[in-house]
Amino acid sequence: MTDPILLTPGPLTTSAQTKSAMLLDWGSWDGAFIELTASVCRDLIAIVHAQDEHVCVPLQGSGTFAVEAALGTLVPKGGKVLVADNGSYCKRIVRILGYLGRAAVVLPHAEQDPADPARIDAALAADPQITHVAQVHCETGTGILNPLPQIAAVAAKHGRGLIVDAMSSYAAVPIDARTMRFDALIAASGKCLEGVPGMGFVIARRAALERSSGNSCSLAMDLVDQWQYLQKTGQWRFTPPTHVLAALRSAIDQYQAQGGLPARLARYTENCAALISGMRALGFETFLPDALQAPIIVTFHAPPDPKYDFTEFYRRVRDRGFILYPGKLTAVDTFRVGCIGAIGADTLRRAVAAVAATLNDMGIRRVGRE
């Protein structure tokens, strides 16, 4: 049986080469694994041109583990964080801050609106107690791309720290530390690098990290302690995800051989265009206008036809070889289709054909809302 194609924002479909990299066992204290960790960290920093002022701190767990570690380590106990909220992952940041006991200032936005740099500017001017801005770059709850360069400029103008959740944009959407100031950029192995899930990482400004000792209330999530141990020994403090790191090393090698970020962005953009054009031809409507759509994941309005049921729709599309993603919006009935992973535009066109066949089988005639 052929594995289904994952049209999700991660985990995602990986190449055979990446899968095969997990067939070898590694000793976590062995010199070869120590060099593997060092090489991956060097390349992760280089992707965003952050070699001069930043360090890479890898962490066991999903991307959310790394987001929580960054917030808990870099934001002092008396800090206050501004969150421009236009989606579910922004809300997750606010929830994490609540668990950490850090004050949050929420700047609410509609889910179809990008974070507004002018409103962030005004909020920072109005409240000098705000120490940090936490910003999701690509909000995969909808697929919207927030204007990170402009937000970074505003944070820098006010002298506030910037913590970026770049989970679904890192390595596919340009981010350049030479022109964009940030204290932390957070991503994970199982996203646009097309590795497997299980490792998050924080690309942290060295100076910001060095002054964050004692902030974390968690031993496992203390990025300062993790970084210092890595610096001293080359090793992770606790059992590392050895096979995940080996797969990521292979995925980065493929990424570089295929042309790096420009090539990855071009492929995902082509995937997204093929998906949207095909789905629109079937009558589906996108939640976002094209100008705000990142080429990572696309949110579609659910058909208003009474015969539509997402669970059944999902099952039938899966039987045809493609795994979709449920919607993340509370007020609108939607579903999502990812454009990332080791797939090309032909795969998305076949997915659209599977959707068309499923609509026919279910007797769904009304696809658009009008």
Give the tens place of pLDDT for each residue, 104-148: 999 999 999 999 999 999 999 999 999 999 999 999 989 999 999
Can you give the pLDDT at residue 30? Answer: 94
Decide if 194 contacts 12 (C-beta within 8 A).
yes
How does DSSP classify residue 248? H
pLDDT of 338 over the 80 cut: yes
User: In the chain, what are the domains?
Assistant: 5-9+259-362 (3.90.1150.10), 16-257 (3.40.640.10)
Residues near 185 by Cβ (< 8 Å), separated by ≥ 6?
Answer: 48, 50, 54, 164, 166, 170, 175, 177, 202, 203
Mean pLDDT of the chain: 96
The percent of residues above 70 in pLDDT, for the chain, comes to 99
Can you tell me the distance from the alpha carbon of 19 to that of 85, in angstroms, rounded to the nearest whole number?
A: 36
200 has which bridge partners?
Answer: 59, 188
Asked if 46 and 54 touch (Cβ cutoff 8 Å), the reply is no
User: Residue 308 corresponds to which tokens in the numbers above?
Assistant: 């539509």
pLDDT(10) > 90:
no
Which residues make beta-bridge pairs with 74?
none
pLDDT value, residue 330: 65
Which residues are within 8 A (CB) of 168 and not within 5 positions of it... i.e. 6 or more apart?
9, 10, 137, 138, 140, 191, 192, 294, 296, 297, 340
Cα-only R_g, the chain: 21
pLDDT class for 174, splitting at 50, 70, 90?
very high
**Chain position carrying tokens 């889910």:** 111
* Cβ-based burial of 256 (10 A; exposed 0-12, middle 13-18, buried ≥19): middle
Residue 352: φ, ψ to 5°: -60, -40
Residue whose pair of structure tokens reads 């058909």 in the numeric block: 303
- pLDDT band of residue 329 (cuts 50, 70, 90) is confident
Distance CA 135, CA 155 (A): 11
190 pLDDT more than 60: yes
**Least-confidence region, from 19-33, 50-64, 217-231, 320-334:** 320-334
Distance CA 249, CA 351 (A): 29
Q: What are phi and psi of 186, to 5 degrees?
A: -120, 130
Per-residue pLDDT at 169: 97
Task: Give yes or no for a contact between 59 and 66, defined as CB atoms under 8 angstroms apart.
Answer: yes
> Would strands 184-188 and 161-165 be described as parallel, antiparallel, or unpaired?
parallel
Cα-Cα-Cα-Cα dihedral of 84, 88, 91, 96, to 10°? -130
Whether cis (ω within 30° of 0) applies to the bond prior to 4 is no
Please state, in angstroms and rounded to a whole number, the distance separating the CA atoms of residues 100 and 185: 19
Residue 124: per-residue pLDDT: 98
330 vs 270, residue with greater confidence: 270
Instruction: Compute the C-alpha angle 261/135/151, nearest 5°.
Output: 80
Q: Work out the number of other CB atoms within 10 angstroms of the CB of residue 101.
A: 10
Q: Do β-strands 132-136 and 161-165 pair in parallel, antiparallel, or remain unpaired?
A: parallel
What pLDDT was estimated at residue 332? 84
What is the predicted pLDDT for the residue at 1? Answer: 53
Residues 6+ positions from 265 with CB-CB distance below 8 Å: 172, 173, 174, 295
| Residue range 58-97, pLDDT digits in tens | 999 999 999 999 999 999 999 999 999 999 999 999 999 9
